Amino acid sequence: GAKQSGRNGYLFFDPEHSRLAEERVVAIGRVQEALDHDELTLYYQPKVDLKRGVVLGVEALLRWNHPEHGLVPPAQFLPLIEHTGLSARIGDHVLARALDQLDAWSAEGLDLSVSVNISARHLQEPDFAQRLAELLARHERPLGPRLELEVLETAALTDIGFTSSLLERCARLGVRWALDDFGTGYSTLTYLKRLPLQVLKIDRSFVANMLTDAQDRAIVEGVISLARTFDCTAVAEGVETPAQARLLLDMGCEVGQGAGIAAPMPAAEVAGWVREWRGLFALAAAPAVPPP
Ligand code: C2E
Ligand code: MG
Ligand code: MG
Ligand code: MG
């Protein structure tokens, strides 16, 4: 049966609970087939300047367009393959597709940057930087400066010496590095100092609770101030309401992404959305938020 929810509401497998080796092997095989049958597709979520009301770019987010189950989110299949070579193959595919899309948008005169999530396994491929250079070189247009790569703290910090030189090498191709879900990992400030980062993405769990939880609000403020110190842009993820956007602006975070601005959408809808978007009208009406 299609669309039937399994254990814990998962459509077909729950990575956390697929402990049986056979079950995992079968599931990994299905992801492999999804890649081969071109069922993996990218959705794009806008990232905007909250202050100026300008669309800055989009984040590419992977979806499995499953013939029976419909659109399957990455949490339901990426964890299964994260320690396998398939993770790097999918990563390569995602990068290639995102660059093709970026090129197409540039050709239409759409001035956007594209962010791509890079898995730890992909980053650790010995030829990651070389491969990135090759993918960029496929395009006549210089796309490096419009490409942003997002890594999780956990991925970036396994071997700081290796990671910082790899990130430097890629940065020489013009790409920018963002630390994703910042605040949920274990970064030390020393590590932050050693990595060539341009963006810190504030994890949405803090953004979600900052209006009511003084500690989460302090964490958000802390990340914004760290970003300033390290010459990075702070980007808030999971912006769902005008009140959250208002508070972020008051705290000095000008860039946001989230369902309150736009949900991830197919590539074909992006140009129309950008054309129609008129900034956050509701923002002007949102009252200043008192501390909890
Ligand atoms: P992420 O990189 O932190 O991406 C943000 C996630 O938050 C996305 O979930 C997005 O749909 C969701 N989101 C955005 N705005 C809101 C909001 O206002 N409220 C809520 N509740 N959620 C919001 P998604 O697309 O399911 O992706 C989940 C994670 O999977 C991503 O988190 C990223 O870590 C990973 N991922 C997605 N695509 C790729 C990919 O191509 N490669 C790799 N390696 N990882 C990917
Ligand atoms: Mg991300
Ligand atoms: Mg994130
Ligand atoms: Mg996240």
> Which pLDDT belongs to residue 18?
59
Q: What is the pLDDT of residue 207?
A: 97
CB of 15 within 6 A of ligand 1: the answer is no
Collapsed DSSP state (helix, strand, coil) of residue 209:
helix
Q: What is the pLDDT of residue 282?
A: 65
pLDDT in tens, 62-110: 999 999 999 999 999 998 898 899 999 999 999 999 999 999 999 999 9
Helix axes 85-107, 21-36, angle to 10 degrees: 30
Which residues have beta carbons under 5 A from ligand 2 (an ion)? Answer: 117, 150, 180
- The contacts found for 65-73 with CB under 8 angstroms, 24 or more apart, are 65/39, 65/40, 65/41, 66/11, 66/34, 66/39, 67/39, 68/2, 68/3, 69/2, 69/3, 69/11, 69/12, 70/2, 70/3, 70/11, 72/11, 72/12
* Distance of CA 61 from the midpoint of ligand 1 (Å): 6
d(CA 254, CA 279): 13
Distance 202 CA to ligand 1 centre (A): 13
Separation of 210 CA from ligand 2 center, angstroms? 20
Angle between helices 128-137 and 160-171 (to 10 degrees): 10
Residue 155 φ/ψ, nearest 5 degrees = -75, -35
Give pLDDT < 50 ranges for the chain.
1-9
Instruction: Please give the model's pTM, rounded to 2 decimal places.
Output: 0.93
Q: Is 46 in the pocket of ligand 1 (CB under 6 A)?
A: no
- Cβ(238) – ligand 1 distance below 6 Å: yes
Predicted pLDDT of residue 5: 46
